Chain A
Amino acid sequence: MGTISSALSIATGALDADQEGLNVVANNVANANTPGYTEEKPDWQENAPITVGKVQVGDGVTETGATSQRDRVLERRLDQQQQLASASSTRLTALNDIQALFTPDSGSSSSTAGDIGSDITSFFDSFSSLETNATNNALREQVLSSASTLAGDISGAASSLNAQSAAIDQEASGVASQVNSLTSAIAQLNLEIESSSPDADAGTLEDQRQLDLSKLSQLIGINQVTTENNGLSITTTWGQLLVSEGQCMQLTTGTVNGVTDFFLGGTDITLQLAAGGGQLGGYLTARDVDIPGALASLDQLAYSISTSVNAQNNSGTDLTGATGTVANPLNIFNEPAQVAGSAAAMKVTMTDPSQIAAAAAGGGTGDNSNAVAMANLASGLIVNGQTTINYYSNFVSTLGATVSEVQTENTAQNASVTQLQTENNALSSVNLNDEASAMSMLENSYQAASQVFTLLNTIMAAALNLGDQTAVA
């Protein structure tokens, strides 16, 4: 059978519980804008009933703490998508810088400066002009000056690409130390979580660990594996261990072939990181795939133009009647020894325009047949089975298509991140409206409980005084 004092104890318990609940609400409101904070809900538990005889009587409520509103599956999906999106947006930034070097020529006369396509055409056209009068010095000067413009623009683009690659390399190596500080923080949090709440959500500690994971996901591609006692193991996307519960492996950097490579426990994992995602994946893809690709195309173009034009010039007779020999070649461009590096090194070495061999070998100086042959190199399949201008046209199309593809990919990934973020926010963010309504409800029940308490107090006094209202208040 219930007693007045047990009813009083139920009312006191309710007051305590409501107060705890109000604390949780206050904490939610206080952290409404804290990054990584997940909304907490008070946990209520009905006290075990008391059985007296055959009668069961309720024994009130206890507030047993608060639970963070978290969906780990959703958080992991968000992290994974974030890794992809941040890789593609880093790569896109680099690609935009690359394509800015090859801005399409609008065709107006002022815009042709710096356009390699126009340079190629002008260079071969200068030989067509030389056909009209093979001995004319002004036309010969024109050949050398358009050759210089072509070589200057190709080598300028190549050195810009090299500089960009060096800058990206530096950025990428800076990511390693950020990764290390995050992985050690996660390892530390693992230990704390394992000791404090091995079988339940760790609340604030879990919030911090999740925030670090989300930051780590922006930097590199990772996989997460939950271990016993609420610990966490983290590997790279390709399975190299970064964090194992309380242990973390340091990512180190070293220079290999002039670029920064990344090591984990002595193993070079640069390739895996490049394919893994995150900012680092984007940087490494731009550094090791996109920029070398563009450079290789320019190198091939520079190599083919230089070697073909030099060979043709050496096979003719110049204005002084001389023909190029191995010992004294009549080279217009510096002769590249190999394809790699040809673009950056491309320059005009000929200074005397009379060395341009417009005449065929053994022909008179007025002969123009070698100039015709040089001009015909423009339509010759001299670069990987293509004409120079087709090769350049394909190069800009391919580059543009790559940029456009990554752009599309990035837009889709960002949309997906936004959607997952919205879903996650809906669950885990502090919604002030909800807090206001919860607070209002708790306030009401607190007031009700205190009313119950006051009434019980009056009843108790009446009982103690046996009806005499004045003895005990």
Chain B
Amino acid sequence: MLVEAQPIGESRVAGERGLGEKMRVDPTYISNMVGSLDQTQSSEQQLSAELSSGISITSLSQNPVGAGENVLLLNQIQQDDSFTRSSNLVTGQLQVADSALGSVVTELTQAISLATSANNGTMNAGDVKSIANQISGVLNEVQSLANTSYEGQFIFAGGKTAAAPFSTSTATTPAVTSYGGDDDVNYLELPNGQKIELNVPGDKIFLGAGTNSVFGALNALVADYSTGTVNTGQAANDTAALNTALNYVSQQRVTIDNSITQLTAASGAVTNEQTQLTAAQTDLMQADIPTISTQLSQAETQQTALEDVIAELESASNNLFMKLRG
């Protein structure tokens, strides 16, 4: 049976030595089969490791291109994740800025209606002075809104966020409100390079040029009414200026609102991208359980077969000496 099982090999010229010809057979073939058995077991080990970890690429050499791709995918996913966290952090600040500007608009609307009532000429000096006091109150309120801070940082101070940017000096009449911040605008950069404005410097909102200056108009109105006598022409001009300044504030507020909208849109896009990237990365790295299970089962079958063959060969008296002895 054994002789038949071997392929027909080249016969060697031994006949002249009187011992007949023999087929070329490696008598140590069992050790070769044990080698195959070792290989099968090592592939079983690898497959079991993939099954238990759930990861298909456990070393670089298994899939060099995949391993490199994985680095890039994870980089993108992590960046997206980081942007989502950053976006949550800045949304708070932008909302505080928006709500402060909302309050400024309310205060200024009130100041305009006070000024309008003072300008209609029906008030006595005491009433006019009282209007001056009330507008002065509005001024203080607006100044305090302009000095709003978020997490200890003054959000309308440009880059000089450590100190309150606005202060009013009453040494002159009308009083002068000055800006101690700078024109610095901070941006948040998205992973795709898009920039979102995080702040509007305070002087752009409250100290616009000419009739756009909120504080200029308010200080002028306080000066107009503080004596109790109203210079109707001057007061009307100043009231109109405050109206213009109010519109200007609303325009600046749009920048903040735009940033909030952009941020929301970007967060949505980034979250979508992250979902897709995660799916791609999972596809790349996750072990394909059905395939691996099949491969494992095949390896097991092969192992059993090899063991059976080895056992069979060992148990069959595979050398003639055994037979001759009998």
A99-125 interface (Cβ within 8 A of B): 99-100, 102-107, 115, 117-118, 120-122, 125
Tell me the complex Cα distance, A117–B22, Å. 62
Give every chain A residue within 8 A of B186 (Cβ-Cβ).
Answer: 131, 134, 366-369
What's the Cα separation between A74 and B75 when bound, in Å? 54
Within 8 A of B (CB), among A135-191: 135-136
A340 within 8 A of B: no
Q: Are B12 and A104 in contact (CB under 8 A)?
A: no
Contacts of B26 in A (CB 8 A): 421-423, 425-426, 429
Chain A contact residues: helix, strand, loop or mixed:
helix
Contact stretch, chosen from B77-85, B125-133, B236-244, B307-315: B77-85
Q: Quick check: B32 and A418 within 8 Å, CB to CB?
A: yes
Cβ-closest chain A residue relative to B23: A426
Per-residue contact bits, chain B 31-64, to A (CB 8 Å; 1 contact, 0 not): 0100100000000000000000111011111111
| Contact assessment for B61 and A132 in the assembled complex, using a CB-CB cutoff below 8 Å | no
Q: Are B161 and A364 in contact (CB under 8 A)?
A: yes
Q: Return chain B residues, CB-CB under 8 Å to A134.
A: 186
Q: In this assembly, does A432 line the interface, its C-beta being within 8 Å of a C-beta of chain B?
A: yes
> Nearest-CB distance from B228 to chain A (Å)?
43
Bitwise interface map of B from 185 to 208 toward A, beta carbon under 8 Å scored 1, else 0: 011110001000010000000000
Chain A interface extent, by class: 35 or more
Q: Residue-by-residue, is A75-118 near B (CB-CB < 8 Å gives 1, otherwise 0)? A: 00000000000000000000110011011111100000001011
Determine whether A396 belongs to the interface, using a CB cutoff of 8 Å to chain B: yes
B83: A residues at CB distance < 8 A:
128
**Does the CB pair B188–A438 fall under 8 Å?**
no
- Does B151 make an interface contact (CB < 8 A)? yes
Residues in A with CB closer than 8 Å to B160 are: 364-366
Residue of A103, A104, A392, A403 ringed by the most chain B CB atoms within 10 A: A104
A residues less than 8 Å from B75 (CB atoms): 117, 120-121, 389, 393
| B229 at interface by CB-CB < 8 Å | no
Interface residues of B in 138-164 (CB under 8 A from A): 151-154, 157-162
For A131, what are the chain B residues with a Cβ–Cβ distance below 8 Å? Answer: 86, 186-189, 198
Whether the Cβ atoms of B60 and A396 lie closer than 8 Å is yes
Question: How distant is A184 from chain B, measured CB to nearest CB, in Å?
Answer: 30
The answer to whether residues A426 and B71 also contact, given A128-B82, A364-B162, A403-B61 and a CB cut-off of 8 A, is no
Beyond A43-B17, A376-B189, whether A135 also contacts B161 by CB under 8 A is: yes
A38 → B minimal CB distance (Å):
13
Which of A104, A117, A363, A368 is B285 in contact with, Cβ under 8 Å? A104
Residue from A392, A403, A425 within 8 A of B27 (CB atoms): A425
Name the interface residues of A387-410: CB closer than 8 Å to any CB of B.
389-390, 392-394, 396-401, 403-404, 407
User: Given known contacts A104-B59, A367-B186, is B27 in contact with A430 (CB within 8 Å)?
Assistant: yes
In the assembled complex, A263 has its CB within 8 A of some CB on chain B: no
Output the least CB separation between B222 and chain A (Å).
30
Say if the beta carbon of A437 comes within 8 Å of chain B: yes
Which residues from chain B contact A379 at a C-beta distance below 8 Å?
A: 193
Cα distance, A396 to B57, chains bound together (Å): 13
| Residues of chain B contacted by A125 (CB below 8 angstroms) | 78-79, 82
Is A441 a contact partner of B285 (Cβ separation < 8 A)?
no
| A99 contact set on B, CB distance < 8 A | 59-61
**Residues of B65-82 contacting chain A, CB below 8 A:** 65-75, 77-79, 82
Give CA–CA (A439, B321) in the complex, Å: 9
In the complex the two chains form, what is the Cα distance from A117 to B24 in whole Å?
Answer: 56
Q: Give the contacts of A336-370 with B (CB-CB under 8 A).
A: 359, 363-369
Q: Given A128-B82, A135-B161, A426-B26, does the pair A433, B320 have CB atoms closer than 8 Å?
A: yes
Chain A's nearest CB lies how many Å from the CB of B63? 7
Q: Chain B residues near A401: list those with CB within 8 A.
A: 61, 64-65
Within 8 A of B (CB), among A14-45: 41-44
Q: Which 9 A-B pairs have the closest CB atoms?
A: A366-B161, A364-B159, A400-B64, A400-B60, A397-B68, A436-B320, A367-B159, A364-B160, A403-B61
Given contacts A132-B86, A132-B93, 18 further A-B contacts (CB under 8 A): A105-B70, A106-B54, A115-B74, A128-B82, A396-B67, A398-B64, A400-B68, A407-B61, A422-B29, A423-B24, A425-B26, A426-B26, A430-B27, A431-B25, A436-B320, A436-B323, A437-B320, A441-B19
Q: Which residues of B contact A (CB under 8 A)?
A: 9, 12, 14, 17-20, 22, 24-29, 32, 35, 53-55, 57-75, 77-79, 82-83, 85-86, 89-90, 93, 151-154, 157-162, 181-182, 184, 186-189, 193, 198, 278, 281-282, 285, 319-321, 323-324
